[in-house]
Structure 1
Amino acid sequence: MSTESREILVVDDDPIIRDMMVDIFDLEGYPIRVARNGREALEKMRQGKRYLVFLDLMMPVMDGREVCLQLDAEPEVRKRHVIVVMSAMDNLAQAATLNVEATMPKPFSVDNVLQIIQPYME
C-alpha cells in the first residue's frame, strides 16, 4: 500500500475558477496543482503522482473529453480519480459517456467541493 498522499489537480482554463478551487483546497490543507488545459494536465498526470482531478469539459488546446479519451488509452495514467466540472451549457449526455467518477456543476459551493472529495482524500 502506497504511503504517498494524493494531490488535487485542478484543470480549468478560467483563472477565476482555478483560483477559487485553489483557495478552497488550500484552506483545507490539501496539496494542489493546477493546469490551464488538457495538455498540461496530461503532462502532470504522466509524472506518476496520485491525483484527484477536477477536469473542466470546455477548454482550448485540449478539452476535458479529449483528456478522458487519452486517459482511457493509457492505463498507467488512468489510475486517477476524475471529477468532471461542467456548466449548465455543457452536454450532460456526453459527460455521462466518459469514464469518470463523478460530475460537479458550475457554479459550485465550497460545500459541494468538500463533499465530493471526501471519499477520495484519506
Structure 2
Amino acid sequence: MVLVVDDDPDILEALSEILEAEGFEIRRARNGKEALERLVPDPPRLILLDLMMPVMDGWEFAHRMRQNPDVASIPLIVLSADRNVGSKAADIGAVGHLAKPFELNDLLEMVRNSLTPAVANTGA
C-alpha cells in the first residue's frame, strides 16, 4: 500500500487514480497530521510526500515519523515544486524525489523500484 500525501486535491486525486490503475492500493492524506494518523495500524510500504502543506508540512511529518520505530523505515519519495527538492529530500532521508511537474513514467519507475525488496542497500 502507498500513502499519497499532498494538500492539492487535484494532484492527490490524480496520483491516487494513476497508481490505483497500475494495481497499487492507495491511502490518501491532505497534510502531515492526516498522514501520521494513517500510518497505523496498517503501515504503508511507501509514502509519496509533498513538502509544502498547511497544518503540518512534509518536514515535520518526516521528523515525527522517524521518531516512531514501528514506521521509521518506511521509504519516502518527495514530490515538490521547489527547485531545491533534491537537497531537501536528502535532508529528510528520502529514497527519491521528483520535481513537479514530473513525468508519469518517472514516478511509476521510482515507486516500483522503491517497493522492490531485492534492491540493494548501498548505505548512501
- Taking only aligned residues, the RMSD between alpha carbons, in angstroms, comes to 1.7
| Cα deviations by residue, 1:21-60 (Å, 9 ceiling, x for unpaired) | 0121111111001000001101111323233100000000
TM-score by length of 1: 0.85
Aligned to 1:58: 52
Shift of 1:88: 3.1
- Which one of the candidate residues 105, 112, 116 is aligned to 2:99? 105
Instruction: Report if the CA contact (8 A) 1:10-1:18 is conserved.
Output: yes
Aligned to 1:115: 109
Tell me the matched-pair count: 116
Shift of 1:15: 0.6
Give structure 1 regions of 4+ aligned residues with deviation exceeding 2 angstroms.
48-51, 88-96
- Which one of the candidate residues 44, 54, 67 is aligned to 2:61? 67
1:81 is the counterpart of 2:75:
yes
Residues 49 and 73 of structure 1, relative CA distance in 2, 3 Å threshold: closer
Structure 2 residues without counterparts, runs of 5 or longer: 117-124
Shift of 1:75: 1.6
Structure 1 residues without counterparts, runs of 5 or longer: 1-6
> In percent, how many aligned pairs have the same letter?
37
TM-score by length of 2: 0.84
1:8 is the counterpart of 2:19:
no
Q: Matched residues in 1 for 2:62 and 2:84: separation?
A: 15
- Which one of the candidate residues 38, 43, 48 is aligned to 1:44? 38
Q: Matched residues in 1 for 2:47 and 2:20: separation?
A: 15
The one-letter code matched in structure 2 to 1:83 is I
Q: Matched residues in 1 for 2:6 and 2:101: separation?
A: 13
